[in-house]
């Protein structure tokens, strides 16, 4: 019987069994950011320990970074102190830090792949649940808590429990105007936000094989919203084309050897899975959320469900969502006015996302009264977008072109919703209060759909607003 | 020596709601700090207080449940963000255990690693426990990790928890750092064996 990539990577990284039956798992790459690491360094100090393998640890600053004016000291002294703490901790322990202005600062899950730090067959950990993003490269990558950040700093290992693997096949061709974001929202809508509990998700099938790397990252990024801590795609030629020549990727004779090594991690053709689910690409519409969990999603031309249409166990959360969002059962989602449009976050702030939006946005204007922000995922993405004229397209359309960071996805910086503003957002979470206002409302969708909403001033179908597919 | 969790007794506070995410347990703006100190006061802040800071009706604000040390929740508790701030806030607000139907992976791991047991009951037993506690807030609930049961009133319900987590809690091995460090030289072997990211340009 063959093995999955997950099995192979796990076995290669299992240092030993622990007394309680868990595994001690070696972590190839540890990524740090300013929010979940200072307490870990504090614990390390209390225990009199050092960072064991600083060459395996990389840090950047993303959550608290102001995106409008990054002059230091920041207006928020707490944010400044978190940045200072990370600077001091990385300096003291000899950890590479991609600081503001380094040219490589950015959202931790954008810069890992961009620098080629993220490679197939690796175990990757970071104190952030969207670490699952790196699974797009055939890495076993997962979010950890701060005590585990301490464990990885001190030992480069953590105590872990092996998961089951669910293979998710997506087969066929996506329609124009349908993106990886729609695919993952569709998957979560059907499997549920608890569907992935206890599982790693392996994504495959012809649709996924045809996706570029950045689309695969979007897919894997939101595995966590489906309850799966890990999501991955088997490495292939697409993976290699993306990685070749990046700063941390092997070169010359080592490159061919690396490719051979990476291919060997792929799930065997006869690998056995604990579960297999198949979706058809043609059945996936542009999808938007209407509620307070990422699973509460519907097609753009759909209606908000009637309570009696829902399984009994989903009704209490649906009622709570309707009350919070101020929506009526049976109401079409299209046409709901928005106040804010946000393109950014670790799900959709990569160069390909911005390129795709700019392609259609050119010549359109953001509706008067809508506050529209675009926040590139990294300094590199911002620089490329400037060079390619993408930034100018956004500015001309009336978007605020911001500096890189997590921004209003979780609003730990000054970017946030006010009151009960409704935001069309390319981020990953529509939880109550997520975007900084306890009453703020989030509707998740693809970046192009956010742009359509910004232009229309209401939740809209990008295919209609921009004539997608007609060109 | 770490505390061994065998039997946890106390009043329970019933917190209804499915899929309660860690953003709700501790909103992101309270994470702007270098330590976990004082997080307990911000537990469920936006659900407990209005925008002026006045208390709203919420089980945690209900005088009948003051002093409760066991949190009763429904299913999918702790989904979303990996922030350890969430179980830290619960623990620092005085809770010793959480009883629910199911927990998100990262939340469960974070909670276990700081000595905050999360145990599951069947939906039926959990329903009975919720109703019993809502009718009688003074009721003492016992979480027995040794015999794997929850006792309340004259009822005994089997509890479910991953065996390795249960053992870790009962044996006082829930913080793995000591055992991880014991691997010593073995770690260097892995560091040599596994190619790590090396700058190539």
B 134-153 residues with CB < 8 A to A? none
Reduce the DSSP state of residue A424 to 3 states and report it. Answer: strand
Mean pLDDT confidence for A364-373? 98
**A251-273 confidence digits (pLDDT tens):** 999 999 999 999 999 999 999 99
Q: Which residue of B has its CA nearest to A435?
A: B28
Of B32, B105, B181, the CB nearest to A197: B105
A 389-408 residues with CB < 8 A to B? none
- Spacing of C-alpha A195 from chain mean position: 18
Selected for mutation to probe chain B from A141, A159, A227 (highest B CB count within 10 Å) is A159
Contact A235, A262 (CB under 8 A): yes
Mean pLDDT confidence for A356-380? 98
**A177-194 confidence digits (pLDDT tens):** 999 999 999 999 999 999
Contact B111, B78 (CB under 8 A): yes
Residue A68 C-alpha, separation from nearest chain B C-alpha, in angstroms: 18
Res. B1: pLDDT tops 90: no
**B68-115 confidence digits (pLDDT tens):** 999 999 999 999 999 999 999 999 999 999 999 999 999 999 999 999
Res. B201: pLDDT tops 80: no
Q: Which residue of B has its CA nearest to A248?
A: B199
Mean pLDDT confidence for A19-24? 93
Of chain A, the percentage scoring pLDDT greater than 70 comes to: 100
**A234-251 confidence digits (pLDDT tens):** 999 999 999 999 999 999
Res. A471: pLDDT tops 60: no
Mean pLDDT confidence for A329-349? 98
Mean pLDDT confidence for B158-181? 96
pLDDT of res. A470: 65
Give A304's contacts (C-beta < 8 A, 6+ positions apart): A290, A298, A322, A327, A328, A329, A330, A331, A332, A333
Reported ipTM: 0.96
- Mean model confidence pLDDT for chain B: 96
Res. A153: pLDDT tops 90: yes
Query: What confidence tier does A212 reach under pLDDT thresholds 50, 70, 90?
Result: very high
How distant, in Å, are the alpha carbons of A115, A351, A375, A392 from that of A381? 12, 6, 10, 14
Contact A324, A292 (CB under 8 A): yes
pLDDT of res. B199: 84
Whether residues A36 and B183 touch (CB distance < 8 A) is answered with no
Whether residues B27 and A58 touch (CB distance < 8 A) is answered with no
**A433-464 confidence digits (pLDDT tens):** 999 999 999 999 999 999 999 999 999 999 99
Handedness of CA A53, A81, B81, A414 (dihedral sign): negative
């Amino acid at each position: 019987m063959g093995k999955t990539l997950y099995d192979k990577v796990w076995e290669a990284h299992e240092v030993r069994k622990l007394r309680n039956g868990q595994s001690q798992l070696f972590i190839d790459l540890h990524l740090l950011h300013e929010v979940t690491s200072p307490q870990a360094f504090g614990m390390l100090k209390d225990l009199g320990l050092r960072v064991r393998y600083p060459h395996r640890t990389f840090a950047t600053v993303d959550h608290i970074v102001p995106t409008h004016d990054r002059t230091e000291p920041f207006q928020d002294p707490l944010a400044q102190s978190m940045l200072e703490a990370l600077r001091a901790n990385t300096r003291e322990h000899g950890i590479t830090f991609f600081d503001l202005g380094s040219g490589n600062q950015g959202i931790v899950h954008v810069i890992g792949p961009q620098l080629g730090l993220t490679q197939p067959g690796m175990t990757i950990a970071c104190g952030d649940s969207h670490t699952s993003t790196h699974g797009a490269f055939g890495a076993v990558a997962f979010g950890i808590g701060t005590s585990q950040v301490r464990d990885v700093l001190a030992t480069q290992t953590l105590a872990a429990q092996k998961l089951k693997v669910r293979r998710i096949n997506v087969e066929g061709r996506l329609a124009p105007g349908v993106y990886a974001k729609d695919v993952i929202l569709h998957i979560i809508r059907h499997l549920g936000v608890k569907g992935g509990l206890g599982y790693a998700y392996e994504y495959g099938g012809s649709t996924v094989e045809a996706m570029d790397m950045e689309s695969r990252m979007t897919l894997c990024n939101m595995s966590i919203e489906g309850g799966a801590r890990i999501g991955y795609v088997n490495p292939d030629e697409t993976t290699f084309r993306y990685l070749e020549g990046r700063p941390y990727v092997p070169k010359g004779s080592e490159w061919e050897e690396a490719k051979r090594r990476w291919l060997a991690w792929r799930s065997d053709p006869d690998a056995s899975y604990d579960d297999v689910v198949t979706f058809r690409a043609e059945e996936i519409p542009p999808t938007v959320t209407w509620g307070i969990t990422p699973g509460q999603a519907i097609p753009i031309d759909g209606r908000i469900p009637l309570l009696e249409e829902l399984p009994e166990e989903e009704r209490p959360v649906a009622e709570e969502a309707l009350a919070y969002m101020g929506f009526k059962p049976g109401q079409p989602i299209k046409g709901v006015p928005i106040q804010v449009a946000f393109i950014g976050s670790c799900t959709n702030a990569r160069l390909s996302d911005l390129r795709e939006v700019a392609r259609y946005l050119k010549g359109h204007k953001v509706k008067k009264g809508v506050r529209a922000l675009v926040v590139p995922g990294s300094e590199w993405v911002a620089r490329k977008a400037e060079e390619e004229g993408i930034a100018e397209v956004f500015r001309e359309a009336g978007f605020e072109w911001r500096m890189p960071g997590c921004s209003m996805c979780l609003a730990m910086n000054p970017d946030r919703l006010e009151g009960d503003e409704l935001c069309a957002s390319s981020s990953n979470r529509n939880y109550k209060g997520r975007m900084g206002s306890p009453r703020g409302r989030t509707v998740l969708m693809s970046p192009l759909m956010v742009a359509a909403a910004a232009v229309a001033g209401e939740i809209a179908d990008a295919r209609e607003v921009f004539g997608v597919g007609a060109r | 020596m770490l505390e061994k969790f065998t039997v946890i007794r106390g009043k329970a506070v019933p917190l209804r709601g499915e899929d309660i995410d860690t953003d709700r347990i501790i909103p992101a703006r309270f994470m702007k700090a270098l330590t976990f100190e004082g997080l307990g006061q911000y537990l469920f802040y936006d659900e407990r207080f209005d925008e002026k800071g006045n208390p709203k009706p919420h089980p945690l604000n209900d005088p009948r449940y003051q002093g409760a040390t066991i949190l009763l929740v429904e299913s999918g508790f702790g989904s979303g963000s990996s922030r350890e701030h969430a179980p830290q806030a619960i623990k620092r607000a005085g809770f010793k255990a959480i009883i629910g139907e199911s927990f998100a992976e990262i939340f469960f791991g974070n909670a276990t690693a700081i000595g905050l047991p999360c145990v599951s009951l069947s939906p039926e037993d959990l329903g009975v426990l919720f109703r019993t506690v809502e009718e009688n807030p003074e009721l003492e609930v016992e979480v027995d990790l040794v015999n794997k049961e929850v006792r309340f009133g004259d009822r005994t319900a089997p509890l479910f928890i991953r065996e390795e987590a249960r053992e870790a809690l009962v044996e006082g091995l829930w913080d793995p750092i000591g055992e991880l460090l014991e691997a010593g030289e073995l770690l260097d072997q892995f560091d040599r064996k596994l190619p790590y990211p090396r700058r190539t340009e």
